[in-house]
Amino acid sequence: MATPFRVVITDFIKDDLAPEKEILGDLATVEAFDATSEDQLAGKIESANGIMLYHSLSLTARTVQHLNECKLIVRCGVGYDNVDHALARIHNIPVSNVPDYGTEEVADSAIALMLALTRGVNYFNVANRDPAISWSYLNAAPLHRLRGQTFGMLGLGRIGTATALRAKAFGLKVVFYDPYTQSGIDKALGITRVHTLAELLPQSNILSIHAPLTPETHHMVGAAELAAMPKGSYLVNTARGAVVDNQAVLAAITSGHLAGAGLDVLPVEPPANDDPLLVAWRDPNHPAYRRIIINPHAAFYSVQGLMDMRTKGAFAIRCALLGQPIPNVVN
């Protein structure tokens, strides 16, 4: 029997689509295009009844305005800055996300980056490949005991909350700034709330980013904000690359104001080879070579987390096709 609907997966997923077909196969055909740019989708998705979007490309107005049959765009991930959700609403297309697929993985990754920086793990591992470097703990000195230091958090959503609980287990004093988080969450978690970024920065020995990318948060942490942090502090970003001005991070590493930075996300992924941050990170003679960790937007990943992302996204599409309440609508 023919299936009445058509679902497309725009990018990132390129296997046999067994998880999606198990959930949607009785309702829809499921196709994956593995596109890396919006241009590659032209003429292929306009008739789709459901769209599953990952993070390799954006759906802008030039695509959204032609989605005449679409009942849902689901951003299979947490952030939804790569889809024009406001225009989608004007065209009566709901947009949803999958906010809970990788909470534990990203929180674990934020703590892993913090530990690799603050305990010198990355520094020693990189530096000691050079046989001319002395075999000594003093190469990364000074390193300070974590217990009693302040773990500052920009954002306290699901992932931020999970990260805060992990940071507390290391004896860190956890302080956060998030004007959109409900009152009392600080008391429930046993952490400290501040009401401005200016209050957060001077006390943050480690600053961990857990904010979505919006016009308000774009480059929210730049040169002035990094300068307000204590000398010898660390930055970790597992949220969105453009929340941080990475050229300011490079300058702060070069000057020695920042002792290290762990960046799982960058504004453009993959980055250009001539990006000054990457050039410095690859240069053995630059401080960034030992003091910056760059990962390929991998904090979300585990076998289980990726499966959650796919199945929860497909389930949301199923709800939309059946006219049922759609989980996690963001527009």
Would you name the residues annotated as active-site residues?
240, 269, 297
Quick one: 279 exposed, middle or buried, by C-beta within 10 A (0-12, 13-18, 19+)? middle
What sign does the CA torsion over 96, 100, 102, 108 have?
A: positive
Tokens 């849902």 found at: 72
What sign does the CA torsion over 162, 120, 294, 14 have?
A: negative
What sign does the CA torsion over 23, 28, 29, 31 have?
A: negative
Tokens 């497309």 found at: 8
Phi/psi for 117 (5° steps) reads -80, -55
Quick one: 257 exposed, middle or buried, by C-beta within 10 A (0-12, 13-18, 19+)? middle
**C-alpha closest to that of 234 among 211, 253, 216:** 253
CA–chain centroid gap for 171, Å, is: 25
